[in-house]
Amino acid sequence: MDAHQYCQERAAASGSSFYYSFVFLPADTRRAITAFYALCRELDDVVDECHERAIAETKLNWWREEIGRFAAGVPEHPATRALFDTPQGRTIPAALLLEIVDGMAMDLDNQRYPDFKSLNLYCYRVAGVVGEVAASLFDGERSADDRAIRRYAHELGLAFQLTNIIRDVGEDARRGRIYLPQDELVRFGVAEADLLNGRDTPEFQTLMQFQYARAIACYDRALAVLPAGARRAQRPGLAMAAIYRTLLEEIRHDHFPVLRARVSLTPLRKLWLASKTWLLT
């Protein structure tokens, strides 16, 4: 299979909001971001699908070596080969890709986070850095050196990751992972057993309202710092924000049913939100 075809099928099969946000991009940029997204999916799946720590560590170490090969111009995996095949993709600093791998590796050692500061490092690596790379692919001429756009990308990446954490509370708990900070569980009177056993309590609802407010603040800060002149180039990120923020509002409207169900938007609604944002920006 052609490397770009592999990445396209990998992205389309995921059904992710990210896929719907870049379908309107010019072909060359779409190929680059699709390859980068496929690479992120490959890294994410290492931890999610490997139940033996030694195997996951071996695979992540292989990816560290593969990023070295990418930097040297001789990648082997279809995702990295497709990424290197694009002018935008081959300029991505290897250090940023290694940060993402390090973020995935944190899931091997950390199934609990004592406070938001420690969680924030995880979010930075698995989402903030992803946002920075994506922003540079959308507008490579200015994003790499524009501090305001980098801040926007990191804030938006954090908002996306916090939305994912809220959406996946129940699913993550069933895997033995709790991303909600431990000190906040104590503060709001929520026991780990409530999450692990799917007990929806008034205290849990208050805790989730607090998490919702934090995520919304991240969306607001991201949009506030994005320069007006960069909005058109960053339309894919803004489309993602429209989709993810709508999902977050749906979860809140449904009173955070995340312990027992996974809330999602239909593909048609995602496409409508993406196209509306694209046309109005």
pLDDT digits (tens, 9 = 90+) for 149-191: 999 999 999 999 999 999 999 999 998 999 999 999 999 999 9
Rounded to 10 deg, the angle between the 53-72 and 27-49 helix axes is: 150
CB 197 within 8 A of CB 237: no
Neighbours of 6 (CB within 10 A): 18
- Choose among 175, 186, 174: nearest CA to 115: 186
CB 116 within 8 A of CB 184: yes
Biggest CA pair distance of the chain:
55
Residue recorded with tokens 């770009």: 4
Neighbours of 146 (CB within 10 A): 19
- Choose among 83, 192, 96, 212: nearest CA to 144: 96
Residue 142's pLDDT is 53
Distance CA 30, CA 271 (A): 16
Query: Residue 194 has which token pair?
Result: 């409530």
Q: What are the residue ranges in the chain where pLDDT is below 50?
A: 143-144
Q: How many CA atoms lie within 13 A of 107 on its CB side?
A: 25
Distance CA 159, CA 16 (A): 16
Could you read off the pLDDT of 52-85 as tens digits, one per residue?
889 999 999 999 999 999 999 999 999 999 999 9
Distance CA 23, CA 61 (A): 32
Distance CA 21, CA 53 (A): 34
Phi–psi pair at 65, nearest 5 degrees: -65, -40
The secondary structure of residue 91, as a DSSP letter, is: G
Distance CA 125, CA 45 (A): 16
Q: How many CA atoms lie within 13 A of 152 on its CB side?
A: 23
- Choose among 29, 149, 143, 41: nearest CA to 89: 29
Residue 144's pLDDT is 47
Residue 178's pLDDT is 96
H-type alpha helices, the chain: 3-14, 17-21, 27-49, 53-72, 78-84, 94-109, 116-123, 129-138, 140-143, 147-167, 169-174, 182-188, 192-196, 202-225, 235-253, 267-280
pTM attached to this predicted model: 0.92
Residue 140's pLDDT is 62
Residue 145's pLDDT is 53
List Cα–Cα distances, 75 to 47, 71, 78, 208, in angstroms: 22, 8, 8, 43
